[in-house]
Amino acid sequence: MDLTTLVQFREEIYGCFTKARDALFNTVDALVTETQAKSFVELSLSPFFERKWPSLYEGFEDGRIDKKRLQDLFIKYLTTNDGEERLILGVDATPIERPFSCTSPDRTAIPMHNIPNRAAAMTYGWKYSTVTVLPEKPSSWTSILDQRRIPSKKTDIQVAFAQLKEIVPKLPKRPLFLFDRGYDSNWLWCQCTSLNMDSLGRLKKNRCFYAPPPPHSGKRGAPHKDGAKLKLSEPSTHGNPDGTWEGKDLSGHPVKICWWENMHVKEARWLNLTIIEVSRPHAPDSERDPRVSWFVYQGEKCQGDAGLVALFYVLRFGQEHGYRFDKQSLLWTEARLRTPEQFDRWSQIVAIVHNLLVLARDLVEVELRLWENKHRDHTPQQVRRGLAKLLPHLGTPAHPPKPRGKSNGRSKGEKVGKAKRFAVIFKKPKLPQIVPS
């Protein structure tokens, strides 16, 4: 990546803004440099935001972003990893909590995870599904390819597949997608067979799979439709795996992998799945870090030991680090915008800034605090601190503001009523039925 490419990326980003483009692009430059801002409106204090603070909100009320063009732009600049063997991507959903925003429509009830002794804790807000390019080591240096809100009438899995259906045909090479247990779905596996991709997903422990049926015995009656049963929670059903491997994972810890090939589920017997068991004796065996984990692999047959693909799953945690950076540093959850459409535009701006930092990573003179380790890899926040010095050399395609005079204000006697209130949506949509192949 050189300065010319970075300038070109910024100009093409500007072309994705179809309305209120100058205010939106000023917001990009303010967010990428204003590291001291603690709230959304404080971005207007940045010297790179050339307008007054009301324009910050008006830009998201009146602005428009061409999402398809932006997605193509991200894929063009952020998937050029010709030196790597595989293109590894992650798909996940994250909540944007809005428990008190009763004037915001289409909020849904969202369970709160990782809260001790509060398994049934709930909050209200929106959810967003994100497709990211994962780095070689788990870190917040992820690249966002697509980010969209999950409406109340659709599930996380439906929105994720819609994203895959758009993105996979545009990728330069066959990708490997990583899914967590929330995407343990027969319907998703069936839909993914139509795409040129591989997938590795974590399984829930109550799942059952079946081997191919044995040959017909010649006796009276219908032949068996399923072979030996493999129930993950019952070791007595595991039998002899098709392959085993013992070694060390990417962190140097001992690990044992067993796998069963050519498995299927009763609802879709035509699926060809590889079930993988990963045993890590060093793990504390907690709910978040179990000693035994189960995975399902679907796609092209791996060269060599099929089960070793499970070692890639640790890269998925980079997506969690990326979410944390977007929420804590890029103020993703801090913008108090009323409508989901306005917040969608803000989410696209956050994705643009995140990717801009990834592209500028090797061009910026990093600014470190006195207590920060100089020998560790630089973080996106450290790169962000130094970008203010580089930005003037890049220039901006945004036009300077034009004075419009003083507004006449509201007419005399005009009354402003209360904003409309919206109830939280608790209804959970269902996935479509599986159509036999």
Confidence of residue 405 (pLDDT cuts 50, 70, 90): confident
Confidence of residue 96 (pLDDT cuts 50, 70, 90): very high
113/316: higher pLDDT: 316
376-385 tens-digit pLDDT: 889 999 999 9
12-24 tens-digit pLDDT: 999 999 999 999 9
308/43: higher pLDDT: 43
88/302: higher pLDDT: 88
In terms of phi and psi (left: phi > 0; alpha: psi -120 to 50; beta: otherwise), the region of 407 is beta
287/322: higher pLDDT: 322
Neighbours of 419 (CB within 10 A): 10
108-131 tens-digit pLDDT: 999 887 666 665 688 999 999 999
Confidence of residue 436 (pLDDT cuts 50, 70, 90): low
| pLDDT of 199 higher than 90 | yes
Tell me what pLDDT residue 182 has.
92
Share of the chain above pLDDT 70, in %: 96
Q: Interhelix angle for 380-394 vs 3-16, to 10°?
A: 90
410/129: higher pLDDT: 129
326-380 tens-digit pLDDT: 999 999 999 999 999 999 999 999 999 999 999 999 998 888 888 988 888 899 9
pTM here is 0.93
DSSP type of residue 425 = B
pLDDT, mean of residues 187-208: 94
Classify domain 68-214+223-324 at the CATH topology level. Answer: Transposase Inhibitor Protein From Tn5; Chain A, domain 1 (3.90.350)
Give Cβ neighbours of residue 296 (< 8 Å, ≥ 6 apart).
184, 189, 200, 201, 203, 273, 274, 275, 276
Confidence of residue 84 (pLDDT cuts 50, 70, 90): low
Confidence of residue 197 (pLDDT cuts 50, 70, 90): very high
Confidence of residue 430 (pLDDT cuts 50, 70, 90): confident
Tell me what pLDDT residue 287 has.
77
In terms of phi and psi (left: phi > 0; alpha: psi -120 to 50; beta: otherwise), the region of 304 is left
Q: Among 272, 211, 265, which residue's Cα sits nearest to residue 241?
A: 211
Confidence of residue 220 (pLDDT cuts 50, 70, 90): confident
Dihedral sign of CA atoms 349, 354, 355, 361 in order: positive
Tell me what pLDDT residue 100 has.
93
Give Cβ neighbours of residue 106 (< 8 Å, ≥ 6 apart).
126, 151, 152, 340, 422, 425
Residue pair 77/356 in contact (Cβ under 8 Å)? The answer is: no
One-letter identity of residue 190 = C
Which two three-digit tokens encode residue 349?
A: 């701006």
Residue ranges of the domains in the chain? 3-65+360-394, 68-214+223-324
